[in-house]
């Protein structure tokens, strides 16, 4: 499986699971709110996954991809938190950014290690 | 009249025995080894300015049988073009009528010498073993079996090169005539190699010499080991002047029985299993109990117990029944590769706990990140409840 495709699939799965973890917070336990969080988190995972996947095609270093995954995950988690704050919802900076950056690291590592590199053109 | 002393006589004998290299661009540097059939010299190629190994038959008028044996041996080595097998350069007849062939001169130490000093860490041992296994697997893919695999026949060269040496009693499978009948099985090298791919040890024309001696040694384990070599292994010994037998610990049961027709790729698989045991534990394999208690690690340290999948690999490779062993060296090395990659091995059926630990080991970084994620979530959850 190519790195971008693997990144997208893993991004959606981990994004959805990350969103589902909101079930443990009383404020977001309602079905409609939770569904919105899961969908939003999946979209975030999709975007992070596709970016990480394409970068992994260019970068060959495992370590570099973990760092890139961390930064991309952190950046999009920051945007999500910022959007929440701007829409007058309670702020969950740490609750979103810390797990989001770990998910980014997982995506960076997994796409680099298990994604297929396309054959070089002759 | 002044008589020559012993030293001078020995020198004259050596000079008289030296091959006539007049027509060849070689000059003799030193004798590397001598045996019943011939002598191996280290010679310098004047044209290329490099050292090579030259094997010469002893007899200036060799029997057709000896000549064809040497030709067969050279052809087998020539057919095995692999980085782990010493290449053959040339073959021909000297001016004095003796047959010869030349090979790459390998400088390095035998596995016996290396292991006598230090047992390597398990992962390093397995990676080294893979190189040996790959060379033998290549030979097996060409239907050639080695039949004398043991630490003394593994040469560790400079820059990590590993060579499987001494293809002198190798056999080409699937050919009507079996060359064993002229005593291949009785020939075993003495374990001291400092030269290229093949020694000139004894091709003793009694088929059962090795088998009888091997079994006799088993029956009398208190028999003295060889003392003339620092690199000899327990069990290697001289039975009579000039006749050196192999190391029983590395011989498959069908090899000990003295039936060359039963020799197959699995015969080498047994020897490879024994070799792996020796490389891990620093001693030749013994009964089953020893396999269970085998520990890896540097000599003098307590070491760590060899993991069960690896024990199972060795057990399968050294199974008494050849049919129960790996089909060839390729299958054995593949299982070792799978073990090193934390994949399930064919020789061992793991339980669910072992499988979980193997998967964690295989995906350890992802497992670590997932664990970190879960921990972060738990911490966050309790922080929001405060």
Which residues fall within 8 angstroms of residue B187, CB to CB, at 6 or more apart? B36, B168, B169, B201, B202, B203, B204, B210
Question: Would residue B323 count as lying in a domain?
Answer: yes
Both B93 and B112 in one domain: the answer is no
Both B241 and B256 in one domain: the answer is yes
CATH number at B56 reads 3.30.200.20
Both B92 and B114 in one domain: the answer is no
Both B140 and B174 in one domain: the answer is yes
Both B367 and B222 in one domain: the answer is no
**Domain total of chain B:** 3
Where do runs of H (alpha helix) occur along chain B? Answer: 6-17, 64-79, 111-117, 122-141, 209-219, 253-256, 265-281, 288-293, 308-317, 329-340, 352-362, 364-385
Both B39 and B135 in one domain: the answer is no
Say which range, B168-177, B308-317, B335-344, has the weakest mean pLDDT: B168-177
Question: Would residue B254 count as lying in a domain?
Answer: yes
CB-based contact B370 A103, cutoff 8 Å: no
User: Looking at residue B209, what is its pLDDT?
Assistant: 26
Question: Would residue B332 count as lying in a domain?
Answer: yes
Both B228 and B140 in one domain: the answer is yes
Nearest CA in chain A to B366: A106
Q: Assign 3-class secondary structure to B17-81.
A: HCCCCCCCCEEEEEEEEECCCEEEEEEEECCCCEEEEEEEECCCCCCHHHHHHHHHHHHHHHHCC
Both B97 and B156 in one domain: the answer is no
Question: Would residue B231 count as lying in a domain?
Answer: yes
Both B79 and B146 in one domain: the answer is no
Greatest mean pLDDT among A1-5, A115-119, B377-381: A1-5
Q: Is A105 on the interface with B (CB under 8 A)?
A: yes
Both B116 and B177 in one domain: the answer is yes
**How far off is chain A from B375, nearest CA to CA, in Å?**
10
- More confident call, B195 vs B375: B375
Question: Would residue B276 count as lying in a domain?
Answer: yes
CB-based contact B380 A103, cutoff 8 Å: no
Question: Would residue B351 count as lying in a domain?
Answer: no
User: What ipTM describes this predicted complex?
Assistant: 0.82
Both B173 and B262 in one domain: the answer is yes
pLDDT in tens, B277-315: 999 888 888 665 566 666 665 444 556 778 899 999 999
Q: What percent of chain A has pLDDT over 70?
A: 97
Say which range, A63-72, B245-254, B338-347, has the weakest mean pLDDT: B245-254
Sign of the dihedral defined by the CA atoms of residues B140, B146, B147, B153, in that order: negative
Question: Would residue B352 count as lying in a domain?
Answer: no
Both B244 and B228 in one domain: the answer is yes
CATH number at B277 reads 1.10.510.10
User: Looking at residue B334, what is its pLDDT?
Assistant: 96
* Residues of the domain holding B213: 108-340
Q: Give the global pTM.
A: 0.71
State the pLDDT confidence band at B351, using cuts at 50, 70 and 90: very high
pLDDT in tens, A64-90: 999 999 999 999 999 988 888 888 777
Specify whether the CB–CB gap between B89 and B184 falls below 8 A. Answer: no
């Amino acid at each position: 499986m190519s790195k971008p495709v693997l990144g997208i699939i893993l991004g959606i799965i981990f994004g959805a699971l990350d969103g589902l973890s909101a079930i443990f917070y009383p404020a977001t336990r309602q079905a409609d709110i939770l569904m919105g969080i899961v969908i939003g988190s999946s979209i975030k995972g999709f975007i992070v996954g596709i970016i990480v996947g394409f970068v992994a095609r260019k970068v060959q270093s495992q370590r570099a991809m973990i760092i890139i995954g961390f930064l991309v995950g952190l950046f999009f988690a920051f945007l999500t938190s910022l959007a929440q704050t701007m829409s007058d919802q309670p702020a969950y900076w740490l609750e979103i950014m810390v797990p989001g950056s770990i998910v980014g690291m997982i995506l960076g590592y997994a796409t680099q290690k298990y994604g297929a590199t396309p054959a070089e053109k002759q | 009249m002044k008589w020559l002393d012993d030293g001078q006589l020995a020198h004259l004998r050596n000079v008289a025995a030296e091959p006539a290299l007049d027509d060849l661009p070689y000059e003799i540097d030193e004798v590397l080894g001598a045996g019943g059939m011939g002598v191996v010299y280290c010679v310098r190629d004047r044209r290329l300015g490099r050292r090579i190994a030259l094997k010469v038959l002893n007899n200036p008028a060799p029997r057709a049988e000896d000549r064809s044996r040497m030709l067969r041996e050279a052809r087998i080595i020539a057919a095995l073009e692999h980085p782990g097998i010493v290449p053959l350069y040339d073959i021909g007849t000297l001016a004095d009528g003796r047959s010869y062939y030349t090979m790459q001169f390998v400088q390095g130490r035998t596995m016996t010498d290396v292991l006598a000093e230090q047992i390597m860490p398990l992962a390093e041992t397995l990676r080294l073993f893979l190189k040996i296994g790959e060379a033998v697997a290549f030979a097996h893919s060409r239907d050639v079996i080695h039949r004398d695999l043991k630490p003394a026949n593994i040469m560790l060269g400079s820059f990590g090169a590993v060579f499987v040496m001494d293809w002198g009693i190798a056999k080409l499978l699937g050919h009507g005539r079996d060359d064993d009948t002229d005593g291949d099985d009785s020939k075993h090298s003495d374990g001291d190699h400092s030269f290229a791919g093949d020694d000139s040890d004894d091709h003793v024309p009694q088929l059962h010499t090795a088998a009888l001696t091997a079994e006799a040694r088993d029956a009398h384990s208190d028999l003295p080991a060889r003392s003339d070599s620092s690199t000899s292994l327990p069990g290697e010994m001289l039975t009579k002047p000039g006749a050196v037998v192999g190391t029983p610990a590395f011989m498959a049961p069908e090899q000990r029985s003295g039936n060359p027709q039963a020799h197959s790729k699995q015969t080498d698989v047994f020897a490879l299993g024994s070799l792996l045991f020796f490389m891990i534990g620093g001693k030749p394999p013994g009964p089953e109990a020893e396999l269970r208690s085998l520990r890896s690690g540097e000599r003098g340290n307590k070491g760590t117990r060899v993991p069960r999948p690896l024990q199972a690999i060795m057990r399968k490779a050294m199974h008494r029944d050849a049919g129960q062993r790996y089909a060839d060296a390729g299958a054995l090395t593949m299982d070792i590769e799978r073990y090193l990659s934390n994949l399930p091995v064919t020789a061992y059926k793991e339980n669910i706990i072992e499988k979980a630990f193997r998967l964690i080991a295989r995906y350890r970084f992802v497992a670590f990140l997932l664990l970190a994620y879960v921990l972060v979530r738990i911490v966050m959850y309790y922080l929001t409840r405060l």
